[in-house]
């Protein structure tokens, strides 16, 4: 069921258009993520939905009612910022209780709801602690509980894990997802971290320069990126200049640096052989093997660098036409790094995607 709708939303900062005619809908109970590089407009969209930044044009519709021009305090929207913005002079209990206190709720109702949320965010027993006595992850959960306690119509999370270290950030991703599911809150989430977005989102909107490049589930944007920007931003990508040499109903064969790759999915725009294209291959869909390429779907290469990461390794190599390629593969054996020794890349053509060579 459609719950939140943005219609041709644009936002200006003076003469700069930060959000450019964005239209989308979010389902009730969905965790919807805005993902993109710095300056892509993701936080501006969040602030516009919250009412802190005015819309230049377009509409914000929540639960079938337009809220575009409503002030923030009547929108019934909860928001968590990267800084958490906890009151340093209030205890954990006081911070979480604050939204109910300003709404003049009774002390018994407030106490009951605070303790329910303390259980939900796994902070029982810490209600008398001050913010400076908590870890970063605990502070983040206090901020989340405070945003949820008044049963907001919508929850907005703006880079909520940005100030945490890598290990804690990964742990908190799944806690946020668990809390969101338990609460049933419709949630807009902003991040620039593709792994974070992939891990917790129902759907993702990829933004660039204030425009939406693609909306889809994590699997959809990873397996079927709409364009090279999305392909490179979500999951990383290698791009090979190729020429289409044959076609059948669903796949085609392409030639790259003298080698033939069979079984590449054929996009609708490829209508005849001879067309030039860019073949996108993810680093995780390649493997290096020793020796000269001798079969279909193998490309001769020279290995330049290899980085050991425990269970996996990153290998950087160069093709005959000097195309630089990155490979992410299981660490099975030491990779020979010798620019004079010929190796080969083996790829999974079914996972490749062809884009127009503009």
Q: What is the spatial distance between Cα 186 and Cα 200, in angstroms, rounded to a whole number?
A: 13
- Cross-strand pairs, 330: 312
pLDDT value at residue 183 = 86
Tell the burial category of 292 from Cβ atoms under 10 Å away from its Cβ (0-12, 13-18, 19+).
Answer: exposed
In angstroms, the Cα distances linking 350 to 217, 263, 319 are: 20, 6, 21
pLDDT value at residue 49 = 97
In this structure, are 56 and 161 located in the same domain? yes
Q: What is the spatial distance between Cα 23 and Cα 89, in angstroms, rounded to a whole number?
A: 41
CATH assignment at residue 296: 2.40.50.140
pLDDT value at residue 335 = 66
Ordered DSSP codes for 163-223 = TS-HHHHHHHHHHHHHHHHHHT--EEEEES-HHHHHHH-SEEEEEETTEEEEEE-HHHHHH
Domains: count for the chain? 2
In this structure, are 338 and 286 located in the same domain? yes
Domain end (from 201, 233, 265): 233
Ranges of the chain whose pLDDT falls below 70: 163, 293, 333-341, 358
CB 81 within 8 Å of CB 189: no
Triad 211, 268, 271: Cα angle to 5°: 130
In this structure, are 224 and 264 located in the same domain? no
Tell the burial category of 41 from Cβ atoms under 10 Å away from its Cβ (0-12, 13-18, 19+).
Answer: buried
In this structure, are 8 and 153 located in the same domain? yes
In this structure, are 183 and 269 located in the same domain? no
Triad 283, 210, 190: Cα angle to 5°: 65
Domain end (from 207, 233, 259): 233
In this structure, are 168 and 288 located in the same domain? no
**Total-model pTM:** 0.89
pLDDT value at residue 293 = 67
pLDDT value at residue 16 = 94
CATH assignment at residue 102: 3.40.50.300
Domain end (from 205, 233, 261): 233
CB 155 within 8 Å of CB 181: no
Q: How far apart are the first and last CA of the chain?
A: 39
In this structure, are 33 and 146 located in the same domain? yes
Q: Domain residues for 133?
A: 2-233
In this structure, are 226 and 242 located in the same domain? no
CB 142 within 8 Å of CB 131: yes
């Amino acid at each position: 069921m459609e719950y939140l709708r943005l219609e041709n939303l644009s936002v200006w900062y003076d003469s700069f258009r930060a959000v450019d005619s964005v239209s989308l809908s979010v389902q009730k109970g969905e965790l919807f993520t805005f993902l993109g590089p710095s300056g892509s407009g993701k936080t501006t969209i969040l602030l516009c939905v919250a009412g802190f930044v005015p819309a230049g044009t377009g509409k914000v519709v929540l639960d079938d009612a337009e809220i575009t021009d409503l002030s923030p305090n009547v929108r019934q929207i909860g928001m968590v910022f990267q800084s958490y913005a906890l009151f340093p002079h209030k205890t954990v209990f006081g911070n979480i209780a604050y939204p109910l206190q300003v709404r003049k709720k009774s002390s018994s109702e407030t106490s009951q709801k605070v303790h329910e949320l303390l259980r939900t965010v796994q902070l029982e027993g810490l209600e008398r602690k001050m913010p400076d006595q908590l870890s970063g992850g605990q502070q983040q959960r206090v901020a989340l509980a405070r945003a949820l306690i008044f049963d907001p119509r919508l929850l907005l999370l703006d880079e909520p894990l940005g100030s945490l270290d890598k290990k804690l950030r990964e742990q908190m991703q799944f806690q946020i997802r668990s809390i969101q599911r338990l609460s049933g809150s419709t949630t807009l989430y902003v991040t620039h971290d593709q792994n974070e977005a992939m891990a917790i989102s129902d759907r993702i909107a990829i933004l660039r320069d204030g425009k939406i490049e693609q909306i889809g589930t994590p699997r959809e944007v990873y397996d079927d990126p709409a364009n090279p920007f999305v392909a490179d931003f979500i999951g990383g990508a290698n791009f090979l200049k190729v020429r289409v040499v044959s076609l059948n109903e669903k796949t085609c064969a392409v030639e790259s640096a003298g080698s033939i790759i069979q079984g590449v999915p054929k996009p609708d725009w490829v209508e005849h052989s001879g067309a030039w294209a860019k073949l996108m291959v993810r680093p995780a869909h390649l493997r290096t093997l020793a020796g000269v390429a001798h079969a279909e779907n193998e490309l001769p290469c020279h290995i330049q660098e290899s980085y050991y990461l425990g269970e996996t390794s990153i290998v950087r190599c160069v093709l005959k036409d000097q195309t630089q390629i990155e490979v992410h593969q299981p660490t099975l054996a030491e990779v020979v790094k010798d620019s004079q020794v010929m190796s080969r890349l083996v790829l999974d053509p079914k996972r490749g995607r062809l884009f127009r060579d503009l």
